[in-house]
Amino acid sequence: MIQSVAFIGLGAMGYRMASHLPKHFDTVYVWNRNFEKAKQHANEYGTQAVKLEQAVQADVIFSCLPTSTDVENLIESLQLKPGTIWVDCTSGVPDSARTLSETLKAQNVDYLDAPVSGQTIGAENATLTVMVGGDAAAFERAYPAMQAIGKLIKHVGTSGAGFAVKAVNNMLLAVNLWSVAEGFTALKAHGVNLNEALDCINASSGKSGVTETVLPQRVLNRSFPVTFALPLLAKDTGIALDLLQSAKLPAPVIGLTQSLIQAASATADENSDFSAAVKFYESWSKITLE
């Protein structure tokens, strides 16, 4: 029975995910590095902004930080309560999940890698997909807490499996984003009306999340709203490529896509949305997708 939950990392995703917890649990602690955000969250949603040491006394601790290294550094300094379950919603590195899971097991704490998909809108509506790796019994115990933030919550395997699924998902997003940029640039070069083309493709076999939402809502209207930072996508494609390389698999498409996304991220404005990778291709083609 979960009495208390905590959320660590109130960023674009975490702030919204944590907002649902008070509807389901009496005690909800929040902590953020910039503590003003935690106080603001408490005011807005009735959570309790507390010191990190207190937050980690909860029965279930969520974290959602940029990278596995950030989570490792945080956990290193903490004394956790035996019986706690740490649910890490960061899009992280499978090897790190396995190490953290082993280290925390020695303290009788379960660590689940539980990255999420669905963007900030999914976090806001509690409709995220949660892909979970780790101990099956810990998954069952943490399920009610994850249910507060997600819609499809799946145990996908042992420790690290959740991070692996998430990395592959985001690589598929990246491959598709780049291909759509090339394809639609070709259409524009040949004088085709892009909006009409988009309607056709979205009723055909080439449709995807990119053609259905990213292209019309972020690229063609030139809004590129910053909800998922491009460096975070570059991190994820790097994790996906590592998965192939560590299994000694050929990766012609994924290797190239990782290089392209990495280069797009390195040359983009500091605070760019992932969709702004398209601008990198536009700088080569000299054709703007609008």
Residues carrying an active site annotation = 166
Residue pair 31/50 in contact (Cβ under 8 Å)? The answer is yes
Question: To the nearest whole angstrom, how small is the minimum distance from the Cβ of residue 227 to ligand NDP?
Answer: 5
Of 4, 47, 84, 91, the one binding ligand NDP by CB under 6 A: 91
Question: To the nearest whole angstrom, how small is the minimum distance from the Cβ of residue 198 to ligand NDP?
Answer: 22
Q: Which stretch binds ligand NDP (CB under 6 A): 6-14, 54-62, 144-152, 250-258?
A: 6-14
Residues 206-235 within binding reach of ligand NDP (CB under 6 A) = 227-228, 232
Question: To the nearest whole angstrom, how small is the minimum distance from the Cβ of residue 188 to ligand NDP?
Answer: 28
> Is there binding between residue 12 and ligand NDP (CB under 6 A)?
yes
Assigned token pair, 280? 């990198």
Q: Which is nearer to ligand NDP, 35 or 143 (CB)?
A: 35
Question: To the nearest whole angstrom, how small is the minimum distance from the Cβ of residue 277 to ligand NDP?
Answer: 14
Residue 143 neighbours by CB distance under 10 Å: 15
Angle between helix 252-267 and 277-285 (nearest 10): 90
> Is there binding between residue 87 and ligand NDP (CB under 6 A)?
no
Residues 123-162 within binding reach of ligand NDP (CB under 6 A) = none
CA distance 115 to 75: 17
* C-alpha to C-alpha distances, 207 to 10, 179, 203, 210, 211, nearest whole angstrom: 33, 12, 7, 8, 6
Tally of CA atoms within 13 A in the half-sphere of 200 that contains its CB: 8
> Is there binding between residue 251 and ligand NDP (CB under 6 A)?
no
What does 80-103 look like in DSSP terms, one character per residue?
A: PPTT-EEEE-S---HHHHHHHHHH
CA distance 208 to 274: 16
Of 27, 48, 99, 119, the one binding ligand NDP by CB under 6 A: 119
Q: Which stretch binds ligand NDP (CB under 6 A): 62-70, 143-151, 206-214, 241-249?
A: 62-70
Size of interface with ligand NDP, in residues (CB under 6 A): 24
Q: Tell me which residue of 113, 1, 4 sits closest to 56, measured CA to CA.
A: 4
Site residues (vs ligand NDP, CB under 6 A): 9-14, 32-34, 37, 64-66, 70, 74, 90-91, 116-117, 119-120, 227-228, 232
